[in-house]
Amino acid sequence: MTILHIDHLSKRFGKFQALNDVSLSIKKGEIFGFIGPNGAGKSTTIRILLGILKPTSGSASIFGLDVWKESVEIHKRIAYVPGDANLWPNLTGGEVIDLFLKLRGSYNPQNKQELIEKFQLDPTKKCRTYSKGNRQKVALVAAFASDAELFILDEPTSGLDPLMERVFQECVLKAKAEGKSVLLSSHILSEVERLCDRVAIIRQGEIIESGSLDDMRHLTRTNLIVETIEPLNGIRGIHGVHEVKETEKGTSLQVDTEALNEVIKKVSTLGIIRLESTPPTLEDLFMRHYEGTGSDSR
Amino acid sequence: MSHKPFHQTGSLVKFYLRTDLFRILIWIFSITVLTLLTGWAFEDLYPSEIERLAIAETMKNPAMTAMVGPGYGLDHYTTGAMMAHQMLLFTAILAAVMTILLTARHTRGDEEDGRSEMIGSLPVGRLAPLTSVLIVIGFSQFLLAIALGTGLSVLGLDTSASFLYGAAVGGTGLFFAGMTALFAQLAESSRGTTGFAFLILGLSYIVRAVGDVSNESLSWFSPLGWTLKTEVYVNNFVTPLLLLIFGSIILTAAAFSLLFKRDLGTGMLPTKPGRRYAPQSLLSPLGLAFRLLRTSIIVWGFALMAIGASYGSVLGDLESFFASNDMLSNMVDPASGLTLTEQFVSMLMAIMSMMAAIPALMFFFKLKSEENKNRTENLYARAVSRQKVFMSYIAVAAIFGSFMMVIATVSLWGASVPVMDDPMSFSTVALSGVVYLPAIWVMIGLGALFTGLKPGITGIAWGYLIYSFLVVYLGGLLQLPEWPGKLSPFGHVPQIPGEEISYLSLLILTVIAAVLIVAGLKFYQSRDLSG
């Protein structure tokens, strides 16, 4: 069942094309990663989903409702965490959490209390005294204490320490276990790799790659480290072999999936001492899309 | 390092001068220009002895005494005596605000933001930063005193008295610099520091006001009382000035002894924890809007009350004063069959309604500043419609904008009753004030329209208010034709007493306000929000 659907969405700010023909969809119970550098269009997409910006063309819907026209109805069933929580300096964290939960709708007060303890937040302090990480915690507690069906998280962990990052990941996985859906925009790739079922990569306002991590890996190269008794000659000549380098551990190379069979056949004739194979990380995938283009910021 | 507590003070003085010189010069320039313009205006408005004595009569009432202090030399009310009476206290308070902000910024403010730690990690004496801050601020108050003294002498006032005037202002600044330095050691945050210092400043003002009205000796317990006890231009007492300077030395010494003992980043006054849970009253867009504007509403309420009371308190001696002043009597129409006072009241109501329009607009424009600070996103990402938030700010602006006008009107009437031989009836005064409410609502409507269209152009609403002020206020003064006034909502309000009340024009103004608000809302609902 599709929870969120974006259909040929474009957004223009004056002459600047912020989004160009973006389409994606999120299914129920899925954690969807949305990755790209700063200024690529992640936040613009999310703000359209929240009904704060109006699409120039195309459409987006959540729970089958139009995100611009029926935003209030939708927002009763979602929770949002911004990348930079701007809170009111003279309200306390506790007051802001209560306000956010009340404005959204129903929630469980006991969940709230547990989350405040888990995130080690002091809710009696004024927001002006909070560090960036503490302000994020306020937004995270308000989001996860709610009974939302969809979580929209826009770089939610910026400023959190590694321990709190782990607490965050637990919260996301718990939400998933309860059958809820998550849109996680991030540039912390290890986080996305750990949590997400499917991923879309956005660059300069366009989706350039999307699918499950397995699918995406399949389309790319495997890293191999090989050490053989006889010298490893002729391997460079095979079509689909890249980046052959001599290292202390042996020869390191990258192999396209379709060339893998041929490479292994060749290597096995040379007497294998060591053979290590690692799948490409999300970072490898990501960097391949950005190599040469640099990350341009808006 | 501890045996050289003042090491590198000289370099730090240069450093603080570099960072703050511009800010200090702006303060000194503004305070001096304001003082000199007032002095010049006094010379211009009341050129003759008779006019000065007439204004002195209007000053002889408790409301005036509470507000600006007791007048010295009212029997021989020279321009100097006028300055000392009407301007000295106000100017000294400005100097105190200046030193409180500057001192807090470089003491607790630097400590809070971690700058003190950076400086402390360098080979710098433990007391050097505070010493150099106070040297710079002392220097700024010295400059201020010289600037005021020189300027007032140039205006033609007695030279040595003018320098005493400057010194009394600078001395007050020094006293509150010492006070702030002390609170910077006690409080745990820079907001706490300025908060305590402003609290003492406010208390000093109240103690002095109560003392000046009821019991003179009570005023000796207030530093602002000392400022006025110099009785500049009349008696020129120096002892109170010495008290200010001596006080600032004691406060500074106390600050140093505390600084020497405590750890960086700690305070001595306990900070009480804030609320763990939100009160029910906060949990709606309207509740939030009110909470965010609460302090501002209170401050503006007191300001409008003071303005109303000061206008009301001069009404008693108005007739004789008008008789002596051509410029003001030009503003009223002798043919109307009303007393000068009655005509003057409707004029005052126009002015006060435009003053009340300032907070009304500011309250509504909070919506815009919330958007600029990316905080409306917090609401719109939840189940809150744009209409609800927009109308919440409209409600706060309309209710409390109207409240400002009402409070000014009531306090004008309240202050006028004891001073008038033949007091005006409450219903007349109330009606003459209340008829201006629809004009204030039109201003809010205009603010709403611009906020809906494009937040960048909201300045036009301020421009229109300034225009209204110029045509309605100066229009009477300069006897301009009628049509420029008719381009302002304030020019369409019936002037009570005097004119017949026109329900039609009030209704039309109210309808215009409503249309503007609805149009603003429609635009607001269909535009992109910046946050």
Task: Note the pLDDT of residue B517.
Answer: 98
Instruction: Determine the pLDDT at residue B462.
Output: 93
What percentage of chain B has pLDDT greater than the value 70? 95
Q: Sign of the C-alpha dihedral, residues B119, B124, B127, B132?
A: negative
Which of A71, A95, A100 shows the shortest C-beta gap to B378? A100
What is the chain A residue with the closest CA to B374? A86
> What confidence score (pLDDT) does residue B325 get?
64
What pLDDT score does B1 carry? 43
* Maximum average pLDDT range among A237-246, A277-286, B291-300: B291-300
| B294 Cβ under 8 Å from any chain A Cβ | no
Q: Is A129 in CB contact (< 8 Å) with chain B?
A: yes
B280 CB near a chain A CB, below 8 Å? no
Q: Residue A296: pLDDT band by 50, 70, 90 thresholds?
A: very low
CB contact set of B22 (below 8 Å; sequence gap of 6+): none
pLDDT of residue A295: 42
Give the pLDDT confidence of A203-227 residue by residue, as tens digits: 899 998 888 887 777 667 788 888 8
Q: Do A98 and B374 touch (CB under 8 A)?
A: no
B284 touches chain A (CB under 8 A): yes
Q: Within an 8 Å CB–CB cutoff, is residue A98 touching chain B?
A: yes
pLDDT band at A274; cut points 50, 70, 90: confident
Chain B neighbors of A73, CB-CB under 8 A: 383
- Higher-confidence residue: A36 or A140? A140
Residue of A99, A101, A141, A147 to mutate for B, most B C-beta atoms under 10 A: A99
CATH value of A221-279 in 3.30.70, 3.50.30, 1.20.1630, 1.10.1740: 3.30.70
What percentage of residues in chain B have a pLDDT greater than 90? 61
Q: Are B31 and B91 in contact (CB under 8 A)?
A: yes
Least confident of A237-246, A284-293, B87-96, B353-362: A284-293
Q: Per residue in B8-18, pLDDT tens?
A: 899 999 999 99
Give dist(CA A115, CA A109) in Å, integer: 10
A82 and B377: CB-CB below 8 Å? yes
Whole-angstrom distance, CA of residue A27 vs CA of residue A4: 7
Tell me, what's the pLDDT at B60? 79
Nearest by CB to B383, from A54, A98, A103: name it.
A103
Residue B268 clears pLDDT 80, i.e. is over it: no
Q: Quick one: pLDDT band at residue B476, thresholds 50, 70, 90?
A: low
Q: B80: closest CA among B29, B156, B142? A: B156
> Is the Cβ of B529 closer than 8 Å to some Cβ of chain A?
yes
Lowest mean pLDDT among B129-143, B229-243, B475-489: B475-489
Residue B455 DSSP one-character state: G
Residue B321 near residue B329, CB atoms below 8 Å: no
For the cut 50, the answer to whether the pLDDT of residue A298 exceeds it is no
Hey, is the C-beta of A53 within 8 angstroms of any chain B C-beta?
A: yes
Q: Which residue of A has its CA nearest to B274?
A: A124
Asked if residue B359 has a cis previous peptide bond (ω within 30° of 0), the answer is no
Tell which B residues from 191 to 250 touch A, by Cβ distance under 8 Å: 191
Give, in degrees to the nearest 5, the angle at Cα B146 between B141 and B150: 150
CB contact B270 to A (< 8 Å):
no
Nearest to A75 among B381, B526, B529 (CB): B381
From chain B, pick out residues whose CB is under 8 angstroms from the CB of A52.
377, 380-381, 528-529, 531
B189 to chain A: nearest residue by CA? A129
More confident residue, A246 or A3: A3
Q: What is the pLDDT of residue B3?
A: 65
pLDDT digits (tens, 9 = 90+) for A159-178: 899 999 999 999 999 999 99
Mean pLDDT over the full length of chain B: 90
pLDDT, one tens digit per residue, over B67-82 is: 888 888 888 888 899 9
Cβ count within 10 A of residue A56:
15
The tokens for B389 are 């938030």
Distance CA A251, CA B99 (A): 70
- Going from N- to C-terminal start, the domains of chain A cover 2-216, 221-279
**pLDDT of A294 above 50:** no
User: Got the DSSP string for B105-150?
Assistant: IIIIIHHHTTHHHHHHTSS--TTHHHHHHHHHHHHHHHHHHHHHHH
- In angstroms, the CA A82 to CA A46 distance is 9
The reply to whether residue B275 touches residue A52, judged by beta carbons under 8 angstroms, is no
A86 vs B contacts (CB less than 8 Å):
373-375, 377-378, 531
C-alpha to C-alpha distance for B43 and B155, rounded to whole angstroms = 9
Q: Quick one: which of A51, A25, A10, A4 has its CA closest to A151?
A: A4
> What is the model's pLDDT at position A265?
87
Q: Cβ of B274 under 8 Å from any chain A Cβ? A: yes
Q: How far apart are CA B257 and CA A272, in angstroms?
A: 77
| pLDDT of residue A27 exceeding 90 | yes
- Cα–chain-centroid distance for residue A266? 39
Which residues are within 8 A (CB) of A273 and not within 5 positions of it... i.e. 6 or more apart?
A227, A228, A229, A250
Interface test with A, best of B272, B382, B386, B392 (most A CBs within 10 A): B382
Of B330, B314, B332, B326, the C-alpha closest to B48 is B326
More confident residue, B530 or B393: B393
With contact defined as beta carbons under 8 Å apart, do B1 and B125 qualify? yes
Nearest to A95 among B275, B285, B374 (CB): B275
Contacts 24+ apart (CB under 8 A), B338-343: B338/B497, B338/B498, B341/B315, B341/B420, B341/B424, B342/B424, B342/B497, B342/B498, B343/B498
Q: A-contacting residues of B 360-379, CB under 8 Å?
A: 373-375, 377-379
Question: How far is B455 from chain A, CA to nearest CA, in Å?
Answer: 15
Could you report the per-residue pLDDT of B313-327, keeping only the tens digit for each? Answer: 878 777 666 666 666
Pairwise CB contact (< 8 Å): A128 & B191: yes
pLDDT digits (tens, 9 = 90+) for A186-208: 888 888 888 999 999 998 999 98
Phi, psi of B50 (to 5 degrees): -60, -45
Is the interface score ipTM higher than 0.85? no
Return all residues near B202 (Cβ < 8 A) that are at least 6 apart: none
Q: How far is B451 from chain A (nearest CA, A)?
A: 16
Given CB atoms, is A65 within the 8 Å cutoff of chain B? no
Q: Given an 8 Å threshold on Cβ–Cβ distance, is B381 in contact with A86?
A: no
Q: In percent, how much of chain A has pLDDT > 70?
A: 97
Read off the pLDDT of residues B15-44 as tens digits, 9 standing for 90 and up: 999 999 999 999 999 999 999 998 988 888
Q: What share of chain A is helix, strand, coil (3-state, %, to 5)?
A: 35, 35, 30
Q: Would you call A42 helix, strand, or coil by DSSP? A: helix
Options 3.30.390.50, 3.40.50.300, 3.30.930.10, 2.70.98.60; CATH of A2-216: 3.40.50.300
**What is the distance in angstroms between the Cα of A192 and the nearest Cα belonging to chain B?**
23
Is the per-residue pLDDT at B347 higher than 90? Answer: no
Poorest-pLDDT segment among A8-12, B276-280, B334-338, B399-403? B334-338
Residues B113-145 as b/e (b if ≥16 CB within 10 A, e otherwise) read eeebeebbeeebbbbbbbbbbbbbbbebbebbb
